[in-house]
């Protein structure tokens, strides 16, 4: 069966703050989220377009449907298309707006579909469809950390997603895996995603792991992150000074007591 996506080569640079350099043959195109480009050869031309450029987003109705899906996921309605209009191989690179790892997805190895958290998509070869996946389970939708709407990536060549901290890839074979609700990055189609309570009442309130955990079960591949951006942002805000120079502290009485000991009050 012939491929529907452009075939691209790539190289990932860096360790904790990574970027991916994509190599394009003449006429090849890579599609990326707006604002993710780092550098590119001068023969590469870019254009902001509505839709991902896949067959599903062609035509007026297809473009409108694609735009509607992106609005639901909170992304820009435009995606940037980078095309090699020169002779010979040319390169363009992309990186996410915060530190972490880039996960290369060989889509044909995962039956052409991967479901991921809605802000993790970075770039993909032209022809890849970036849509939405609705979480049908109400409990997982409300308390699972990612909500009802996830991103669904479909294609037969390369796509790249980004996540925070250390990334681990796990293969499940009819097993269950319990995960902190923010640490799930992506999973393949054979995985079922649900939630369960984080132990007894005391553990739920004082255990520090939240009230619910995400339960992954089935057969397929799962990608997890050690530092969700939401956790990083919350920790920064918790220690950021307030207006007037006051430290916000850890949340309350203990934070105020710490300020007292430090001589801030």
* Stated pTM of the model: 0.78
**Length of the chain in residues, anyone?**
265
Q: How far is CA 136 from CA 149, 186, 221, 234, in A?
A: 9, 17, 20, 28
- The tens digit of pLDDT for each residue in 55-114 reads 665 556 555 665 555 566 566 678 899 999 999 999 999 998 888 899 999 999 999 999
3-state secondary structure of 265: coil
Domains and CATH numbers, the chain: 9-169 (3.60.160.10), 231-262 (no CATH)
- The tens digit of pLDDT for each residue in 199-241 reads 555 444 544 455 678 889 999 999 999 987 767 676 777 777 7
140 pLDDT higher than 60: no
Q: What percent of the chain has pLDDT over 70?
A: 69
264 pLDDT higher than 60: no
Per-residue pLDDT band for 249 (boundaries 50, 70, 90) equals very low
The helix (run of H) or strand (run of E) holding residue 214 is: strand 212-225
251 pLDDT higher than 60: no
Q: What are 47's two structure tokens?
A: 């254009």
């Amino acid at each position: 069966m012939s491929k529907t996506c452009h075939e691209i080569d790539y190289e990932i640079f860096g360790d904790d703050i990574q970027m991916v350099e994509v190599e394009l043959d003449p006429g090849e195109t890579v599609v990326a989220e707006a604002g993710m480009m780092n550098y590119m050869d001068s023969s590469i031309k870019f254009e902001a377009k509505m839709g991902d450029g896949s067959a599903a987003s062609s035509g007026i109705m297809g473009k409108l449907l694609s735009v509607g899906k992106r609005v639901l996921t909170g992304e820009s309605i435009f995606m940037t298309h980078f095309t090699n209009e020169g002779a010979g191989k040319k390169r363009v690179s992309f990186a996410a707006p915060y530190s972490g790892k880039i996960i290369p997805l060989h889509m044909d190895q995962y039956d052409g579909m991967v479901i991921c958290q809605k802000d993790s998509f970075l770039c993909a070869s032209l022809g890849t469809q970036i849509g939405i996946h609705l979480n049908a389970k109400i409990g997982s939708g409300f308390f699972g950390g990612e909500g009802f709407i996830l991103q669904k990536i479909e294609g037969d060549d390369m796509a790249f997603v980004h996540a925070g901290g250390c990334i681990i890839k796990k293969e499940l074979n009819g097993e269950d895996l319990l995960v902190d609700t923010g640490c799930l990055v992506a999973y393949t189609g054979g995985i079922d995603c649900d939630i369960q309570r984080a132990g007894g009442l005391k553990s739920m309130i004082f255990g520090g792991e939240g009230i619910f955990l995400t339960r992954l079960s089935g057969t397929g591949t799962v990608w997890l992150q050690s530092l969700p951006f939401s956790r990083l942002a919350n920790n920064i805000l918790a220690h950021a000074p307030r207006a007037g120079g006051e430290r916000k502290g850890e949340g309350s009485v203990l934070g105020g007591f710490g300020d007292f000991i430090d001589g801030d009050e």
